[in-house]
Amino acid sequence: MIKLYGLRMSNYYSLTKALLIEKGLDFEEVKRPPSQEEDFLMRSPMGKMPAIEVNGVYLSESIAIASYLERLQPQPALLPGDAMQAAKVMELVCRLKLNVELVARRLLPEVLFKQPVSEETKVAVKADLAKGMMAVDRLFVGAPYAAGEQLTLADFYTFYCFGLATGMVNAIYGEDLLDGYANIQNVLAIMAEQPSVQRVETEKSAK
């Protein structure tokens, strides 16, 4: 059975758990806070969550895990069969992850840990986020799903990346990051109804 290491509070842990559920795979959750200790680095070389363990082999990085799960359990398919369409889904996932979530994450120390972030950082994050949102908007299809007619990995990344990013932006700038992005808001609403996501969110609040 697959073991999933990390904490339910993490958006990438939640995303990975939702994918495991979506794919109908058996898994066991192993509660482990991220750390730089050797036993954690062995599972996840940057000391981040999540990581999975399959037959004694460890794998970290949500995209790598998603890629493994897609091959392990092809149905339901979360990538289109066409090579270019599948790559376009991954392109959107990269933009969401690298140019929105990772940028907004720079605000996290102040929002979650009361460690003030400099004004310089706040200005830079705002500018980088504006650029990232324009890039996402260029790739986002929203008909009705993130990458088109099919539910894909990009919908899961949309849900879990914006879950964090909108919270950070609202807390620091008092703004709605998704103001004017009706198609992204629509995908968030669709994903909130997805049974796999609902189970993750329910179990998260149950702790």
Q: Where do contacts with ligand GSH occur on this chain (CB under 6 A)? A: 10-12, 34, 47-49, 61-62
- Beta strands per DSSP E along 25-136: 27-31, 51-54, 57-60
Q: In the complex with ligand GSH, which residue's Cβ is closer, 12 or 140?
A: 12
Q: In the complex with ligand GSH, which residue's Cβ is closer, 62 or 166?
A: 62
Shortest Å, Cβ 48 to ligand GSH: 3
Per DSSP, the residues of 121-133 read: HHHHHHHHHHHHH
**189 vs 158: CA distance, rounded Å:** 11
**CA distance from start to end of the chain:** 22
Shortest Å, Cβ 43 to ligand GSH: 11
Shortest Å, Cβ 12 to ligand GSH: 4
- Residue 163 near residue 11, CB atoms below 8 Å: yes
Q: In the complex with ligand GSH, which residue's Cβ is closer, 59 or 144?
A: 59
C-alpha torsion 132→91→67→24, nearest 10: 80
Shortest Å, Cβ 189 to ligand GSH: 23
**2 vs 66: CA distance, rounded Å:** 13
Token pair, residue 177, equals 């990051």
Q: In the complex with ligand GSH, which residue's Cβ is closer, 186 or 196?
A: 196
Shortest Å, Cβ 14 to ligand GSH: 9
Q: In the complex with ligand GSH, which residue's Cβ is closer, 61 or 128?
A: 61
